[in-house]
Structure 1
Amino acid sequence: MAPNDSAATGTTADGGVGRRKAARYIVPVAVAGVAAATIGLVPALASSGDPELPKIGAQELIEKIAASDTQRLSGTMRISTDLGIPSLGGLAGAFTGGEDGPGGRGGASADPKDRMTELVSGTHTLRLAADGPDKQRLSILDDAAEYSLIRNGDQVWAYDSKSDTAYHATADGAGKDAGHRAGKRSVPEGVPTTPQALAEQVLEAAGPTTSVTVDGTARVAGRDAYRLVVKPKQSGSTIGSATIAVDAENGVPLKFTLLPSSGGKAIVDAGFTKVDFAKPDASLFTFTPAKGTEVTEAQEDEGGGKAGRSDAKGLEGLEGLVPGAGQLGAGDQGVKGARVIGEGWSAVAEFKVPGAAGLPDKASQEAPAEARQFLDALGDKVSGKFGSGTVFQTRVVNTLMTDDGRVYVGAVTKEKLVEVANGAS
């Protein structure tokens, strides 16, 4: 793949142009969900040389993505995610199907809400297939096991071969819209899925605070592609750029790379290593649990609706890249009383933690010594006009919790958080 500093071709487009159309382009892998955030470079994804392609401008390339009507594909992709979040070690199993966690056999669970969150860290190999709006399949490949999420019409199945457990849900109604809703209910918000899903989030968020350019060409999974680069115009964001490799023939995003403003390896790198746009075999979208498989039926009231979705428009572009972003507004189940300071990539949400008086001071006896040491190790103490507080950092989203219970959170640097908190005091 062409390096990020390759010579630019084409023109620059402010992010607002064509963004409404961009939401229509995605190959319908609805069973994997689209919501989300979040993601080193994978040398295996690149091929030899950068192809010579006709010049194209950013606006024209965005329109090419929006006009793409590709609804069939099959292939293999790799996704690497590095949000800079410390590993939970054995604690993760208690929540996502470890030996002592909830669910089926030995704590295992085939529920997508438990399993798809695996994609928010580490490197994974996925196998994808789609045949129109009603048939999709996504499989996470392990050394000796496979986890698959399958949608066929109004039927959604998930199967974990390691534990021989399955999960079954029925979509509300039929057709494209119902399938899309079923997919969103099956996968948690913020879980990265495909280059198409990740690209959609960025293009929908593009606005006056965003620069969009065409920056050379690349070969991805053996196919010629243009490199569309999206960058914040503002300072203070933790996001440096997002690069989308767009198939030169059909406009399908083949690879997505999200880089931090601080430099270093990618936050998210997701791309096809192999892709075919022919009709997939119909057997990929059928599933019947074998005798002895433990099946869990979805609850009737699972998911659905938009309660708790964000009114914090400045953060909505992070919704599919960062777990929890886009849910900091004033939705029925969101954070009450939140307000957004700033706009675009530098937006910061401010709210008061209900009933909280901030973190216990180090010298306070309100918390055990071990707890205070743990908090000190995770965060950096800061002070300013707002008083004092602690900044908790990842490679994308940073959070300032003041000692009097105010919280400031956004995809901005520690310095920007302190600046915003000072200005709000």
Structure 2
Amino acid sequence: MSERVIPGRTGGLISLGAADALWAGLTTGSAVPTVSAVFTCSPADARVGYVLLGGRVVVTVKASGGQWSVAEIEVRRAAAELNAVEVDCQDLVRIGPFGGAPKKECNETTLLRWRRRITGELQELGEPERAERREGGRASHLAGIDWRRILVEQTRGRTARTWLLPRAVVRLLDAAAYAETQWLQAARTRQGSTAVTEPPLQARAADGRQTTSPDCGAAPLRPYNGELQGHLYSALSRKPGTSRKVAGWTCAICRTAPAAVLDHCHEHGYVRAPVCHSCNTQERPDHLYSNDIRVASRYTRLFDTHTADWLRHWHRCPGCRARTTLPLPHLAAWTAHIACRSLRPTHRDARSSRARKPCGVLRVSWTGSQNAPGSCLLTVAVDFCPSGEHRVLAQVPYREAAKRFGTWLAETAPAVAAAAGPDRLDGLPARIRPVIADTTGEGLALF
């Protein structure tokens, strides 16, 4: 039987059982599904000094009598933050499996590398005996989130599987991993210091005991202001300390989550900006093959609702900015989504007699490369047409696509267009690099 929360003790210490019940009650209506045993179920371990709830670190203390406890006010704050998260179940991010990722041991006492933890547990589901022995049959959670209830599994063929989670949940887990990293670094700093100082932020329990705030010692994130402009990714990725420096910035796109990777132009090799995992996934083209991409629904955001921000981000690459264009995969997606929008047929929606919906799924492929623009041709086609009648919609030469994009750029984002142009070709490589298809989702963009 779970313990009842004692009323009138907000801000005081409560037992782990009471904290479990409090968390479950406060997050009942949350868009992010949670579990009830957040303090007593893996990977939570009160003995390490903290538990992750959403994107917040909640400190655990050993109260009188040797009982582990937490500050009730911190549980309430974490629940309020989680309840404020809005989830779009159609906006999904691939989280695995990634065949090219090196295998590393997963530390069971931390949330770090949560993607590897999910992949490992899902692969373990095929071994019933091991799964049943784990936690006595109780499902583990991540930062109090019941990720299994919102996990989407897609299967291609008989064996290929892909796992996806809503983008809002991915950002929440990334924030939790960052908060944990900062807390652990601050804890090591406090342990290594000989000076005894009183923490700047404290939560005082009802019996007079004090607990260190999870925000204590965490370095604030700084906004990205173009410090890496003009740098080559190949040089920065080999430079010691780069990943630690990147983690100190906020994402240059969403400006809220901590940065985790350096997004870079795979054609010209220049760094664009430090971004979070979620934005890096959203920006990456959906390669079917090295010269073939699926035009996903997220391109509506990239080219419609948040156009200026994304164009400014892509043109952080000196090569794309000087040539007033986009990398070939992105230009191909733009051509299919914007330039050929009027060519896409519609079909009657079965759910409504008057409504119509776009035909099938857009796909664009190309022959040749941007190195030989005269022979590069983009082919826009429709897959999965309900009637089977629509195939190729248009064939657009590369130079025509680039010209159309330049015209559209000047109308849509004049400030971005004004900063671009052929007068800024100094210092660019004489021969730009071929397209590198990032088909695994890891490796090329991660440290």
TM-score normalised by length of structure 2: 0.23
Computing the radius of gyration over CA atoms, which structure comes out larger, 1 or 2? 2
Higher helix share: 2
Higher strand share: 1
TM-score normalised by length of structure 1: 0.24
